[in-house]
Structure 1
Amino acid sequence: MCEGKFTKNTDETGKVFIVTGCNTGIGKETVLEIAKRGGTVYMACRDMNRCNEARDEIIKETNNQKIYSRELDLSSFDSIRNFAAGFKREQDKLHVLINNAGVSFCPRSLTKDGIELQFGVNHVGHFLLTHLLLDVLKKTAPSRIVVVSSALHAKGSINVNDLNSKKSYSKTGAYHQSKLANILFTRELAKRLEGTGVTVNSLHPGVVDTEIWRNLNGFTKAMTSPLRWAFFKTAKSGAQTSLYAALDPDLKNASGLYFSDCKAKKVSKAAKDDKMAKFVWAESEKWTGVGAS
């Protein structure tokens, strides 16, 4: 298995980061590495008990005291707004926002604001969070936004007539749609941010053995478990492309790209559909109530 690895030594002292969904898996490993490099990191998580435990472990390992745990439930617009407001009360800089959190393959349910959960958390919640933090990102420029997507975006399509999966629902279809939306959002936002000094890129972390698979049914889990050691990346390996997109000095001006194994890769034909990107953007604005950046 070919794995990219981010090996450059960078000093992140004085830089401020937000990483969503980071009490375990890729997110936790991403925070750990940034902490080792001296960065100030806000761990934005839904489960505060687990977030605090992860924070304590990271501080103990790195001796970096500037690691903070804050509550963020991406299935609640109120929670997202409260997090953003709280962050701005504490910090006037944000160098890197890493939209890492995600849910996958779950039975149909809704966010607190009535959006299908996978689309709501993976895309719409991060859409709102990003918009609420754009002012401080622009103020801090050069700054970066990193969007964790998936190679499974290539299997996705945007259901224009049933974006919220009201008429029919597929666990896998909804996940694929949300990951495609991540890339459409990235490409559209990159255009809107031209000239601001804020870049945005998306990535595929690899097939990683993390809790994102927790909603697979028992048979599927049983079938995949023996194969994990051979085909699945560890969380540490899965974090490498996030670190590359967030930290590599050579990417200072790169925007609107998609990475995998620490390299730029092509996206699916659907992910290049500018008209569809504008449609998803407009629908996301309606749901969240935010205006154009």
Structure 2
Amino acid sequence: MPSSKFSPESIPDLTGRVYIVTGGNAGIGKETVIGLTARGAKVYMGARSKDKALAAIHEIQEQLPSANIHFLDLDLSDFQSVIAAAKKIREDEPALHGLINNAGIMGVPYSLTVDGYEAQWQTNYLSHWLLTHHLMPLLQSTAQSNPEGTVRLVNLTSDGHARFTPPSGIRFEDTGLEKENSMMRYGQSKLANVLHTVQLNKKYGPISAEAGNAAIWFSAVHPGHIDTDLNKQATGALPAGVLRVATPIMSCLGILDKQEKGAWSSLFAVASSNFKKSDSGAYVVPYAKIGTPSDHARDAKLAEKLWQWTESELGAKGLL
């Protein structure tokens, strides 16, 4: 895939800064944690399994003894867990310099969360929207007391946002898409991640007159086609046996790239001095380049409608 000249080593010193990476115990998230801590940042690793997170932290610290990583109990399939995680951060940290909404699931069979939403729709989109909402005051106060561009937020999406969505982009009357295939459900959730970024930038970014000196820089990142466990989860798209065989073949053919590269665009967007104020709200593509998302993703009215739908949906449940 095309690449800019960016490399993680070009990121400035991040000592004293605090970041959250959801799904930070494996795959791209883990590599993002490594990239941030290698530059001196304190990182909260959001994960639902404490054992897996602590094992990942131990593994990272064996190679990077100075890595300052803390487990953050976060189950994106449960709204109450999301709210509790945000509350813990607000209580424990006076500042938050970056949030990387990285965790996600792809192509899984249809199922509902404890909150009654389709699993991909909640895990990939709704819960990250809710987490962002509850952390926004802390992000804003941090932005207000730091140099412009210090505080940033990254939503991970994928090119699936352009390839697999319903014709309308978001099917508001049936967000669960139970009768559709698993990849359409995935694509809709990934489009929602981009539209979320558009609205965040409009409300809280440098283009917002109201944000003032509390402006945050935002981006939606397509990390690339990376060899992670995400590919093995997609049993709603292909049988598990086929996925086990196909994934290593795609890696050998260069269709799937190494996990380290999957973190490059996230690191670029959240911490690089090469990501500029004018880039806020952008769609970042492999690797560390500004790209162009789909027509639906550039639809300002659709972004506004999704924001209003989400706010109403979660607000009605008393979650905001």
Normalised to the residue count of structure 2, the TM-score between the two structures is 0.87
2:245 aligned with 1:243: no
Aligned partners of 1:281, 1:206: CA distance in 2, in Å? 26
Alignment partner of 1:214: what SS?
A: helix
Corresponding letter in the other structure for 1:227: M
Of stretches 18-27 and 209-218 in structure 1, the one that deviates more from structure 2 is 209-218
Write out per-residue CA displacement over residues 60-93 of structure 1, whole angstroms, 9 at most, x where no aligned residue. Answer: 2222252101110011110001101111111010
CA deviation vs aligned residue, 1:194-236 (integer Å, no higher than 9, x gap): 2332111111100000011122322244344312222211110
| Aligned: 1:83 with 2:85 | yes
CA distance in 1, matches of 2:301, 2:93: 36
Distance 1:110 1:88 in 2: 29
Query: Partners of 1:85 and 1:252 in 2: how far apart?
Result: 30
Alignment correspondent of 1:27: 29
Task: Tell me: CA distance 1:65–1:32, structure 2 relative to 1, closer, same or farther (3 Å).
Answer: closer
Structure 2 residue aligned with 1:162: 174
Match of 2:126 among 109, 124, 127: 124
Which ranges of structure 2 fall in alignment gaps of 5 or more residues? 144-149
Aligned with 2:157 (options 146, 149, 156): 149
Q: Which of 274, 278, 283 matches 1:258?
A: 283
Aligned equivalents of 2:222, 2:11: Cα separation in 1: 22
Aligned positions of 1:175-190 closer than 5 A: 175-190=186-201
Cα distance in structure 2, aligned partners of 1:282 and 1:20: 24
1:47 aligns with 49
Instruction: Find out whether 1:275 has 2:296 as its counterpart.
Output: no
Distance 1:46 1:135 in 2: 24
Q: CA deviation at 1:14?
A: 0.2
Judge conservation of contact 1:108–1:169 (CA < 8 Å) in 2. no
- Distance in 2 (CA, whole Å) between partners of 1:116 and 1:26 is 23
The letter of the residue matching 2:262 is: G
Q: TM-score, normalised by structure 1?
A: 0.94
Aligned-pair distance for 1:59?
2.1
Could you say if the C-alpha distance between residues 46 and 8 of structure 1 is closer, same or farther in structure 2, counting changes exceeding 3 Å? same
The count of aligned residue pairs is 291
The one-letter code matched in structure 2 to 1:161 is E
Gaps of 5+ in 1: none
Matched, 1:2 2:5: no
Q: Percent identity?
A: 36
Q: What residue is the counterpart of 2:223 in the other structure?
A: 205
Secondary structure of 1:251's match? Answer: coil
Q: What is residue 146 of structure 2 aligned with on the other side?
A: none
- 1:281–1:9 CA distance, 2 compared to 1 (3 A): closer
Measured after TM superposition, the shift of residue 13 of structure 1 is 0.1
Residue 279 and residue 252 in structure 1: after superposition, are their counterparts in 2 closer, same or farther (change >3 A)?
same
Residue 14 in 1 paired to residue 16 in 2?
yes
Contact 1:3/1:237 (<8 A) preserved? no
Of 127-136 and 152-161, the range deviating more from structure 2:
152-161
**Aligned-partner SS, 1:97:** strand
Larger displacement relative to structure 2 (157-166 or 144-153): 157-166
CA drift of 1:27 comes to 0.5
Which amino acid is 2:157 matched to? S
